Structure 1
Amino acid sequence: MSNDLKNTFKIASVYTGTILGAGFASGQEIKQFFIVYGYQSIYGIILSGILFALIGAVVLNKIYSNKIRSYDQYVIPLIGKGLGHFVELVVSLFMLSGFCVMVAGSGAIFDEGFGISREIGIIVMVGLCIIVFLNDIKGVVAVNEILTPVMIIGIAFLGSYILIFKDTGVMSFIYVVQKVTHNWFSSALIYVSYNTLTIVVILTALCPLLTKRKVAIMGGILGGISLGVMAFILWAVMQMFYSEILPYEIPFLHIAMKKGRIIELIYTFILFSAMFTTAVSNGYGFMNRVIQWTGINKTLCVFTFCILSIPFAHMGFSNLVKGLYSFFGYLGLFMAVVTLFDGIKILISRH
């Protein structure tokens, strides 16, 4: 495998792994942002996949063109110093909350999947993250490079298995879940927008891997396509069981449990991996900003940050997904639009 192909794969893995977190792989995001709108929500799934691919391509292309290595180098020339610093603060808070969501999700897995105390799941996740953080960006890339292909293959396999060997003929939609917005289109935009907030921070750290423009653009497109395909698989499975999964914080786990212990264990590993990859990406992004702002010792920052995140994780997984993600989605909508227009302008100017 050539170095360019390896770097493309690494970039796509980090991009996919950052977004494919607890909310995505558990089915919470698919349920709250898409499936509650009925069969029309498939258009939202398609739109989000296209936007993820487009945003990934234009962001990475700009990082390559301008040799950008930090978030402030990306955002300040784009929207100005004053507004740029405000957005930086918002993004940092989102990465902090995103890390807490992943830690909370690990607690929910141990509780609903194994009947083990939430506290144990939370502590396991925090401990693994500490190990990765101490290895800096190399640790983040290594985790995503290993686990992202496993997650993609695993979700594709489980989704196909459940669809082929379905044991229900009922495809009903009971509209009792509070919707994020009034329609699938705006909900898809909010969903992509809040992910755009953090992804720019992580992708700027990958500048050393962007050896060619083709590598940058293809890495973004491949990551976006992967996210779109996995979202569709989860959507197709969950629509069959929608009326059954409403009470659960991890709806796809409930579906997997109906298929036997082996399927349940496979999915539980995939879900924990998804939480882990997103946790390390968000946590690394947040701590990297804190270290740059304060000059604090990295090891001290790692342990302090991880330990202080534990109390926030007890707020509950689904509550964090619904409240924080929707809130930051509206804030991120502005950045998503500006980023797209700026990136497309750069792409056009190169041809």
Structure 2
Amino acid sequence: MSEDFKNIFKIASVYTGTILGAGFASGQEITQFFVVYGPQSIYGLAVSSILFALIGMVVLNKIYKRKIRSYDQYVTPLVGKRAERFIEMLVCLFMLSSFCVMVAGSGAILYEKFGVAKEFGIAVMVISCLIVFLFDAKGVVAINGILTPIMLTGIVFLGGYILIFKDTDVISLANAAHKAAYNWCTSSLVYVSYNTLTIIVIMTALYPLLTNRKVAVLGGMTGGMALGCIAFILWGVLLMFYSDILPYEIPFLHIVMKKGKVVELIYIFILYCAMFTTAVSSGFGFLNRAVHWIKINKTLCIFLFCGLSVPLAQIGFSNMVKNIYSVFGYLGMFMVVLILFDGIREFASNRKG
């Protein structure tokens, strides 16, 4: 296996693992942002998939070309120093929220499935993340490189199994409980936007893997395409069972519970891995910026961050997905527009060069 292929694989794994968290793999995000709009929401999924691939390509291309190693080096030229400070605060707040969403999800799944106290699941997730944080960027890349392929394979298998051996042909979209945005187009943009806030921070830490421009472009494109494929599979399953999953914080778990114990346990493992990878990526991004701001020992910051995140995770998983994610999504649209226009300009300069 060539070095370039290994780096493309690592980059795509980190990209996919960052987004493929509890909200995604559980079905909450796909339900809230797409399924509630019925069959036509497939167009929103297509838009999101294309945007994820484009954003991955243009961001990593610029990081490689400009030798960018930190978030502020990427954002400041786009928006200026004053606006960069505000956006950085926004991104840090989102990454903290995202970390807490993943931690809350770990407590929710153990409680709903095994009746274990949510506090126990939260504590296990936080301690696991703390251990990875102590290994810095190498730990984040290693965990994503191991778990992301397992998650992708597992979700493709489970989704395909449910769609092939479905026991219902009824699609019910009545009485939707919540609208994350006003229509499928706006909703897809919100979905991409709030994820982009975290992606930039994580990608700037991947500069050592960008050995050439091809690795940067293909790594981003592959990660975005993988996300799109998984999203389409989950969307098909959730749309088919929509009327049955409304009351549940983890919709996909409710579906697989009907398919036998083995299938259910496989999914629980995949979901927990998804929570773990996104918690690690979001927490790592927050810690990098926090240490840069407050200038304290990173190990001390890691312990303080993990300890303080525990009470914040008590808010509840589905409440965070519905409220926090949508708010940050609208705020992040500004960044998506800037990134895409700037990326097109960078690609144009490459062609001229």
Name the TM-score, length of structure 2 as normaliser: 0.99
**Residue 120 (structure 1) aligns with:** 120
* Cα distance between partner residues in 1 of 2:240 and 2:195: 27
**Residue 334 (structure 2) aligns with:** 334
**1:22-47 deviation per Cα after TM superposition (whole angstroms, max 9, x unaligned):** 10000000000000001100001111
**1:305-343 deviation per Cα after TM superposition (whole angstroms, max 9, x unaligned):** 001101111100000111110000011000001001100
**Residue 30 (structure 1) aligns with:** 30
Residue 259 of structure 2: SS of its match in structure 1? coil
**Residue 169 (structure 1) aligns with:** 169
Instruction: Tell me by how many angstroms 1:182 deviates.
Output: 1.5
**Residue 285 (structure 2) aligns with:** 285
* Cα distance between partner residues in 2 of 1:295 and 1:349: 37
**Residue 344 (structure 1) aligns with:** 344
Instruction: Tell me by how many angstroms 1:217 deviates.
Output: 0.3
**Residue 231 (structure 1) aligns with:** 231
* Cα distance between partner residues in 2 of 1:114 and 1:339: 43
**Residue 77 (structure 1) aligns with:** 77
**1:148-192 deviation per Cα after TM superposition (whole angstroms, max 9, x unaligned):** 000000000000000111111211112322212221001000000
**Residue 315 (structure 2) aligns with:** 315
* Cα distance between partner residues in 2 of 1:280 and 1:176: 32
Letter of the 2:274 partner, please give it.
Answer: A
Q: Percent identity?
A: 68
Letter of the 2:59 partner, please give it.
Answer: V
Instruction: Tell me by how many angstroms 1:299 deviates.
Output: 1.4
Instruction: Tell me by how many angstroms 1:294 deviates.
Output: 1.6
Residue 218 of structure 1 pairs with residue 218 of structure 2: yes
Number of equivalent positions: 351
**1:19-72 deviation per Cα after TM superposition (whole angstroms, max 9, x unaligned):** 000100000000000000011000011110000000000000000000000000
Q: How does 1:113-152 map to 2 (within 5 A)?
A: 113-152=113-152
**Residue 90 (structure 1) aligns with:** 90
Residue 267 of structure 1 pairs with residue 267 of structure 2: yes
**Residue 204 (structure 2) aligns with:** 204
* Cα distance between partner residues in 1 of 2:349 and 2:201: 24
Letter of the 2:287 partner, please give it.
Answer: M
Give the CA RMSD over aligned residues.
Answer: 0.7
Instruction: Tell me by how many angstroms 1:116 deviates.
Output: 1.2
Farther off after superposition, 177-186 or 66-75: 177-186
**1:275-330 deviation per Cα after TM superposition (whole angstroms, max 9, x unaligned):** 00000000000011111112211111111100110111110000011111000001
Name the TM-score, length of structure 1 as normaliser: 0.99
Residue 116 of structure 1: SS of its match in structure 2? coil
**Residue 101 (structure 1) aligns with:** 101
* Cα distance between partner residues in 2 of 1:195 and 1:176: 24
Letter of the 1:182 partner, please give it.
Answer: Y
Letter of the 1:275 partner, please give it.
Answer: M
Unaligned runs of 5+ in 1: none
Instruction: Tell me by how many angstroms 1:349 deviates.
Output: 1.6
* Cα distance between partner residues in 2 of 1:300 and 1:174: 50
* Cα distance between partner residues in 1 of 2:151 and 2:318: 21
Poorly superposed stretches of 4+, deviation over 2 Å: none
Unaligned runs of 5+ in 2: none
Residue 50 of structure 1 pairs with residue 50 of structure 2: yes
Q: 1:35 touches 1:41 (CA, 8 Å); kept in 2? A: yes
Residue 258 of structure 1: SS of its match in structure 2? helix
Residue 52 of structure 2: SS of its match in structure 1? helix
* Cα distance between partner residues in 2 of 1:201 and 1:314: 26
Instruction: Tell me by how many angstroms 1:113 deviates.
Output: 2.0
